[in-house]
Amino acid sequence: MHLKPLPTDALLVIDMQNDFCPGGALAIAGGDIIIPAINDLGRRFEHVLLTQDWHPANHVSFASAHPGAPLYSTIETTYGTQTLWPDHCVQQSPGADFHPALDLPHAELIVRKGFRARIDSYSAFLENDHATPTGLAGYLRDRKLTRLFLCGLAYDFCVRFSAIDGTALGFECLVLEDASRSVNLPNSIASTNLAFAEFGVKRIAAAEIT
Ligand code: VGL
Ligand code: ZN
């Protein structure tokens, strides 16, 4: 498949932050390896949007906020099951900064998410209660951007939930699989691929963008 980006398309770059890259607090294997591909993709799109995971200290998603709870275990919250992560992407910390090699000078919008202490947000559209909007859908509608190409970190969490919610909200979502990397918890990649198949989210390669 060859796809030429249209003026109504956007590249949505998810959470390319220091803490998700090797050396960071929630390092994803190969998280930084995809940066050149993302920079190259950025040059092909008129519209580039970024998300930034942006948590207060003691965020509900941090295992450290739940004494005795192991890393990567889950808890039940008012909004459902929540995985507990190492402290990461704390507001204004160096770990929350975009990776210095990311080179997307014309990015138009940065959507910050996960900034409420008591609720996490994997998706760029809706927080983990699947009800509280981030404002991204309204932005895209106002700007008449209808098709999204998603890449970044992590394929099996924030890319996954952004693509699924975006689809449910009426945007055509395609995931650039080789410009993404996974956290890879038990079953997380397989269940992501299943969800994409179920919702009609296409998985494509960066080289298909011409
Ligand atoms: C993410 C875990 C916790 C992500 C964010 O960007 O996929 N994963 N916070
Ligand atoms: Zn987070």
Q: What is the pLDDT of residues 89-121, one digit of tens each?
A: 999 999 999 999 999 999 999 999 999 999 999
Cα–Cα distance between 163 and 157 in angstroms, integer?
10
Domain ranges in the chain?
Answer: 9-56+89-208
Contact predicate 90/26, CB 8 Å: no
Which burial class, exposed, middle or buried, applies to 56 when counting CB atoms under 10 A from its CB (0-12, 13-18, 19+)? middle
pLDDT digit string, tens, across residues 114-123: 999 999 999 9
Cα–Cα distance between 7 and 1 in angstroms, integer?
19
| Of 64, 161, 183, 189, best ligand 1 pocket probe by most atoms within 8 Å of the beta carbon | 183
- Torsion angle (degrees, nearest 10) of CA 100, 48, 118, 69: -50
**Does 173 qualify as catalytic in the annotation?**
no
The predicted pLDDT at position 176 comes to: 98
For the Cβ of 161 lying below 6 angstroms from any atom of ligand 1, the answer is no
The predicted pLDDT at position 207 comes to: 98
Question: What is the reported pTM?
Answer: 0.98
Residue 37 CA to ligand 1 center (angstroms) comes to 20
> Which residues, other chains included, contact 14 with Cβ-Cβ below 8 Å and sequence gap of 6+?
51, 124, 150, 151, 152, 153, 154, 158, 159, 162, 180
Residue 85 CA, closest ligand 1 atom number: 3
For the Cβ of 85 lying below 6 angstroms from any atom of ligand 1, the answer is yes
Residue 17 CA, closest ligand 1 atom number: 6
Contact predicate 2/141, CB 8 Å: no
Q: Which ligand is nearest to the CA of 50?
A: 1
For the Cβ of 158 lying below 6 angstroms from any atom of ligand 1, the answer is yes
Q: Which ligand is nearest to the CA of 181?
A: 1
The predicted pLDDT at position 1 comes to: 80
The predicted pLDDT at position 175 comes to: 98
Residue 53 CA, closest ligand 1 atom number: 5
Q: Domain 9-56+89-208 is in which class?
A: alpha beta
Residue of 53, 87, 113, 156 marked active site: 113
The predicted pLDDT at position 36 comes to: 98
Please give the chain's pLDDT, 210 residues, in tens: 899 999 999 999 999 999 999 999 999 999 999 999 999 999 999 999 999 999 999 999 999 999 999 999 999 999 999 999 999 999 999 999 999 999 999 999 999 999 999 999 999 999 999 999 999 999 999 999 999 999 999 999 999 999 999 999 999 999 999 999 999 999 999 999 999 999 999 999 999 999
Residue of 15, 19, 53, 120 marked active site: 15
**Does 15 qualify as catalytic in the annotation?**
yes
> Which residues, other chains included, contact 84 with Cβ-Cβ below 8 Å and sequence gap of 6+?
61, 62, 63, 66, 69, 70, 71, 72, 73, 74, 75
